[in-house]
Structure 1
Amino acid sequence: MKVLLSIKPEFAFKIFEGTKRFEFRKAIFKNPDVNIVVVYASSPVQQVIGEFEIEDILSCNPESIWEQTKQQSGITKDFFDEYFADREIAYAIKIKRTKRYENPLSLKEDFHMVPPQSYAYL
């Protein structure tokens, strides 16, 4: 099963460059059958630029998640701390394999949807 995630362009491109091997989330999808993430690079790019396979989803307190992921996080500790401020649980989606689309897709025209706040099942 596939899920669409809105990701800031700077982080979305790092995923496909291979410098960001984890995607961090405050909330995770409830369906355990999700194994592919389709990446929507949010404003100003506003295009679906590729997808990746999920290797694993880590769930723990933010401090522990940072220790497990910091080498391949693609973000700074300050950004991580700000993002998970006041959160008891942090989620990190471990990226297995990526596929960048040769021709980016339009969310509206190709998927008939608007950008999701967090995620949307496809």
Structure 2
Amino acid sequence: MERNIFLSFRPEYFRPILYGIKKYEYRKRFCKEPVIAYLYLSSPVQEVIGKIKFEKPLMTKELLDVYSNNKKIKSRLLRCLENKEQYIIPIVSLQLFENPVTICDLKKINPSFMIPQCYCNLEKQKDIFEYLQSRTLLEREFWNDHSKVFEQNLGVLCIEMEETEEYIKRDNIFRNNPKYQKIKCSSLKERKH
């Protein structure tokens, strides 16, 4: 059975996920089983924008053994280890809320609810979990079949993804589609300027 969590995420890293380009999330610590994560974009956005489905994490050290003869992938995996990102979590799908949920909305439900730095188990926050479950979701943005490893995507940084033609094309769609106007996230490039 999938676990339900509340996952904090920096907004400048979100667009590659929204566009279906980023196939893996990298974390220092994470659940060891598949999860449904209610995705909270941290400051300055401070909103829960939808839910993301993750498969069981892959372990960076184990993948390093598998790809020890592939210089490109090996170097990207070593970079993950240098950043202490031991969990490589396959991203299966994303669904956005029709209307994002603010911190104020959550505090009305449970005034003592604290936003986790990384993630928290929602089964222990039943009131918040039930509220998030009751929210209207839009159609799924994408579905990734992880029956095989997306080698071209393994260990790739978001800033590198922002340089691709695919990202630029999808970014133009995002900026011009009214459906996405409620999603307040910048890119890493924008943040640098």
With structure 2 as the length reference, what TM-score do the two structures score? 0.47
Aligned to 2:22: 20
Do the aligned partners of 2:54 and 2:92 also contact (CA within 8 Å) in 1?
yes
Mapping of residues 86-101 of structure 1, within 5 Å? 87=84, 90-101=86-97
Which residue of 1 is the match for residue 35 of structure 2?
35
Q: How many aligned positions are there?
A: 109
Indicate if the aligned counterparts of 1:62 and 1:90 stay in contact, CA closer than 8 A: no
**Structure 2 unaligned blocks of 5 or more:** 123-193
Q: In the alignment, is the contact (CA less than 8 A) between 1:6 and 1:42 conserved in 2?
A: yes
CA contact (8 A) 2:38 2:48 kept: yes
SS of the residue corresponding to residue 51 of structure 1 reads: strand
Matched residue, 1:4:
6
Structure number having the greater strand percentage: 1
Q: What's the secondary structure of 1:109's corresponding residue? A: helix
- Between structures 1 and 2, the one with greater helix share: 2
**Which string of whole-angstrom CA distances, capped at 9 and with x for unpartnered residues, describes residues 30-89 of structure 1?**
6x3x52011111111111011111133111329729x6xx99xxxxx5xx93x64263x6
Counterpart in the other structure of 2:116: 116
In structure 1, distance between residues paired with 2:45 and 2:105? 15
Q: Aligned in 2, Cα 1:62/1:39: closer, same or farther, shift over 3 Å?
A: farther
Taking a change above 3 Å as real, the CA distance of residues 9 and 61 of structure 1, as seen in their structure-2 partners, is same
Identity of aligned residues (%): 31
Gaps in structure 1 of 5+ consecutive residues: 72-76
Q: The residue matched to 1:37 in structure 2 has which SS?
A: strand
Q: Which runs of 4+ in 1 moved over 3 A?
A: none
Q: Deviations over 1:64-116 (max 9, x none)?
A: 29x6xx99xxxxx5xx93x64263x6101111111011210124523632221
| Alignment RMSD | 3.1
Q: Structure 1: which amino acid aligns with 2:60?
A: C
CA distance change for structure 1 residues 86 and 36 in 2, over 3 Å: closer, same or farther?
closer
Question: Aligned pair in 2 of structure 1 residues 4, 63: CA closer, same or farther (>3 Å)?
Answer: same
Q: TM-score, normalised by structure 1?
A: 0.71
Query: Which of the two has higher C-alpha Rg?
Result: 2
